Structure 1
């Protein structure tokens, strides 16, 4: 990876961040979005946990999810001009984040893309507000950085600057290249090589802390801890 770029964002209140992350982890468990067992990942690994943001599937869950994203973003100090939701999962996520930020008095334009260009009406791949200035990309997780690179290409083609990415969970897990583990995660790649700031509501470290301290889920602590020991990054 390239040398990490120097960040100019404001200092983060880590105690508040940890409290928000713990609250989010419990919320994800309650919703069945965060599950424990044995799950095969895209990289072919057997993971003891699975995070499926598609199961934030009703109005109440999406309302609370938007609140978590907005609170994490405001606490991060990251500045941006436009919210971009990449198709498909990023579209509803970007929308609820825009709505919640507006409710908190921070009104930002919102845009998203289509997978295929429309050849009638307004046409094109992009829908919503014009992409300009610093753009925040909103998605659920960063698995390989592919979706982020695709978003960057769209944003730059529109004449704007990809600036930051907001995600729900940072798995803090080694990425793979050509079927082999590498020494950095997809989040680190996006931050240190692509040069974008990353705001995650929670990290795997927060999940482990929650499992260790919660009696109902302490049984999963050892398996998740062993997985992090094998595949984890800071």
Structure 2
């Protein structure tokens, strides 16, 4: 399994920072997963955060997405939106960015949305991972209710767990939400399988077998 430079560096960063871990983890959905991803662990320091921003920005450039506004879904998407906007500006791509509040502010000028979201904007949503599409649709509907005729440019996540059901995919399609990811979970396992990273094999035969069994039960290929 080969990955291009920025994807490989991003994956190695996730592994080295413990942002992706292997074992047995109970998810919010109740599923028992052989791996767990927490992008916040990949952004503990300024230099770590830059590496994450580089990967998101590189993927955006590669996809050549047309957008006006970068939206960070509360809460994990908030620092991502800021970091990605800053990195893109260094590459000559200067875009507005903002985020939503879990609870609307009742005083001052800002309400549910913080940032200069304009009527008619093409909005790119950035977030950490996607398991199902329901929360992403909810985030989009909240955003769309704030301004008239905003259009979805897509949703970009660090890792697609590839667990979206046909119903989830249909729901995303109904709202014209295109899903993009820096990495897919199958790419991660294929790259790491029996590969030594800094003297350690993270995905050996047992871990890979657990993933195959989990994927056969819950996984889908987009």
Pairs within 5 Å for 1:109-120: 109-120=96-107
Inter-partner Cα distance in structure 2 for 1:171 and 1:80? 25
Inter-partner Cα distance in structure 2 for 1:20 and 1:100? 14
Report the equivalent of 1:141: 129
Tell me which of 184, 188, 191 is aligned to 2:166.
Answer: 184
Inter-partner Cα distance in structure 1 for 2:167 and 2:11? 20
Tell me which of 124, 149, 161 is aligned to 1:171.
Answer: 161
2:54–2:87 contact (8 Å) kept in structure 1: yes
Report the equivalent of 2:54: 67
Partner-residue secondary structure (3-state), 1:154 = helix
In the TM superposition, what whole-angstrom CA distance separates every residue of 1:152-198 from its partner, at most 9, and x where no partner exists? 2233221112231110000012x4xxxxxxx4385x35643332122
Q: Does 1:53 align with 2:35?
A: no
Q: Does 1:108 align with 2:95?
A: yes
Report the equivalent of 1:83: 70
Q: Does 1:30 align with 2:52?
A: no
Cα distance change of structure 1 residues 117 and 208 upon mapping to structure 2, 3 Å threshold:
same
Please state how far the C-alpha of 1:147 moved relative to its aligned partner. Answer: 3.1
> What RMSD over aligned residues (CA atoms) do the two structures have, in Å?
2.0
- Count how many residue pairs are aligned between Structure 1 and Structure 2: 210
TM-score, normalised to structure 2, is 0.86
1:82–1:108 contact (8 Å) kept in structure 2: yes
Pairs within 5 Å for 1:195-234: 195-212=176-193, 214-215=195-196, 216-219=201-204, 220-234=207-221
Q: Does 1:20 align with 2:1?
A: no
1:131–1:155 contact (8 Å) kept in structure 2: no
Higher mean C-alpha displacement, 60-69 vs 144-153? 144-153
Q: Which runs of 5+ in 2 are unaligned?
A: none
Q: Which runs of 5+ in 1 are unaligned?
A: 1-14, 176-182
Partner-residue secondary structure (3-state), 2:117 = coil
Inter-partner Cα distance in structure 2 for 1:228 and 1:211? 16
